[in-house]
């Protein structure tokens, strides 16, 4: 699989298996546990209310983040344009290197209803029940 396809599937469809695959790939390439890289990045961004112990966001006493820290993270990622290709898509399809097709559907049901909305990421766990980060651009202002 291509990294771009895994990233798109993770952001658009909130696919846990692609998040795990990306984490494994990056860990292999860097010879560092992905969660260690996540925590290093959180610390460097001064995300003081975040601590990660898995790359998926599964519930855990040692895996947490705050709304404020998610805002810091999104603001740090916006200049990279990482969300430009994913924020308005309601589905994504791709093929593995051996030609096996994959399709994922957006978990953010607001995309098609609000043209000013740019989806960033959704998530669901039994404890959180649901979460989402969106940008809304309205009247020359951007709201996160």
Considering just the CA atoms, what is the radius of gyration of the chain in Å? Answer: 15
pLDDT recorded at residue 133: 92
pLDDT recorded at residue 11: 92
The pair of three-digit structure tokens given for residue 29, joined into one six-digit string: 């390439």
Q: In angstroms, rounded to a whole number, what is the distance separating the alpha carbons of residues 90 and 138?
A: 21
Q: In angstroms, rounded to a whole number, what is the distance separating the alpha carbons of residues 132 and 120?
A: 8
Q: In angstroms, rounded to a whole number, what is the distance separating the alpha carbons of residues 59 and 44?
A: 23
pLDDT of residue 124 exceeding 90? no
Confidence of residue 1 (pLDDT cuts 50, 70, 90): confident
Closest Cα to residue 74, out of 136, 138, 9? 136
pLDDT recorded at residue 43: 97
pLDDT recorded at residue 71: 94
pLDDT of residue 31 exceeding 90? yes
């Amino acid at each position: 699989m291509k990294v771009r396809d895994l990233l798109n599937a993770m952001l658009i469809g909130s696919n846990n298996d692609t998040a795990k695959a990306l984490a494994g790939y990056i860990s292999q390439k860097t010879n560092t546990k992905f969660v260690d890289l996540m925590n290093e990045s959180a610390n460097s961004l001064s995300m003081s209310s975040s601590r990660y112990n898995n790359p998926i966001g599964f519930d855990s006493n040692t895996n947490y983040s705050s709304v404020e820290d998610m805002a810091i993270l999104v603001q740090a990622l916006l200049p990279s344009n990482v969300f430009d290709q994913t924020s308005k898509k309601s589905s994504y399809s791709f093929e593995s290197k051996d030609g096996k097709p994959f399709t994922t559907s957006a978990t953010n049901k607001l995309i098609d209803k609000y043209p000013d909305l740019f989806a960033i990421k959704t998530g669901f766990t039994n404890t959180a029940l649901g979460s989402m980060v969106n940008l809304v651009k309205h009247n020359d202002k951007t709201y996160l």
